[in-house]
C-alpha cells in the first residue's frame, strides 16, 4: 500500500462535531496516518511549540493544518499571527488550509495575506475536495 499523501494532519476547530466529520472524511480518503484534533487555537499552538523542540519534530509535526477562523479566545487569524513566529523549517513543513463556514470576502482577503495559508475552503470537507488537495 502506498504511503499517505499527508502523513500527519491537524484539525483546529472549536466545534467538536465539525472536527469529527472532517476527521472521518480524511480517514475515509486515506490520505493520512495520524490526525490530531484540537478544539482551540491555543492548544494547537502549544502542541506545535512542544513538538518543534523535539528531535522527532519532522515525523510528528503535521503536514497540513485545517484551521477554522471563528473561534473563541483565539481566532484563526490570531493563530496565524503566532504561527508566523515559528521557525522557517516548521512553517515550511506545516501547510495551512483555512476551513471555515465564513462567507465574508474580508476573511478570504485577509487569509491571502499570510504566506503560510495555502488554501481557503468551506466546511465541511468533501471527499472530492480532499482527494484533489495538492499543497
Give domain limits for the chain.
Answer: 8-131
Please report the pLDDT score of residue 72 as a whole number. Answer: 94
Percent of the chain topping pLDDT 90: 80
Judge contact between 41 and 76, C-beta under 8 A.
yes
How many Cα atoms within 13 Å fall on the side-chain side of residue 26? Answer: 26
Q: Give me the mean pLDDT over the 31-40 stretch.
A: 96
Q: For residues 93 and 104, give the distance between their C-alpha atoms in angstroms, rounded to a whole number.
A: 28
Please report the pLDDT score of residue 32 as a whole number. Answer: 95
Q: Give me the mean pLDDT over the 21-40 stretch.
A: 96
Q: Give me the mean pLDDT over the 18-32 stretch.
A: 95
SS3 45: helix
Please report the pLDDT score of residue 1 as a whole number. Answer: 46
Query: pLDDT digits over 36-87, tens only?
Result: 999 999 999 999 999 888 876 677 899 999 999 999 999 999 999 999 999 9
Q: Give me the mean pLDDT over the 13-39 stretch.
A: 96
User: Which CATH number fits the domain 8-131, given the four candidates 3.30.390.30, 3.40.50.800, 3.40.50.2300, 3.90.25.10?
Assistant: 3.40.50.2300
Please report the pLDDT score of residue 53 as a whole number. Answer: 81
On the question of pLDDT at 4 being above 70, the answer is: yes
Please report the pLDDT score of residue 114 as a whole number. Answer: 95
Please report the pLDDT score of residue 52 as a whole number. Answer: 83
Amino acid at each position: 500500500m502506498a504511503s499517505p499523501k499527508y502523513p500527519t494532519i491537524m484539525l483546529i476547530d472549536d466545534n467538536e462535531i465539525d472536527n469529527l466529520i472532517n476527521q472521518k472524511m480524511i480517514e475515509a480518503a486515506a490520505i493520512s496516518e495520524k490526525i490530531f484534533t484540537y478544539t482551540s487555537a491555543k492548544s494547537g499552538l502549544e502542541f506545535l511549540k512542544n513538538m518543534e523542540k523535539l528531535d522527532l519534530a519532522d515525523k510528528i509535526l503535521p503536514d497540513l493544518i485545517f484551521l477554522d477562523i471563528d473561534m473563541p479566545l483565539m481566532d484563526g487569524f490570531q493563530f496565524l499571527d503566532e504561527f508566523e513566529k515559528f521557525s522557517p523549517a516548521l512553517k515550511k513543513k506545516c501547510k495551512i488550509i483555512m476551513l471555515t463556514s465564513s462567507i465574508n470576502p474580508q476573511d478570504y482577503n485577509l487569509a491571502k495575506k499570510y504566506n503560510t495559508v495555502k488554501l481557503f475552503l468551506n466546511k465541511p470537507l468533501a471527499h472530492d475536495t480532499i482527494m484533489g488537495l495538492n499543497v
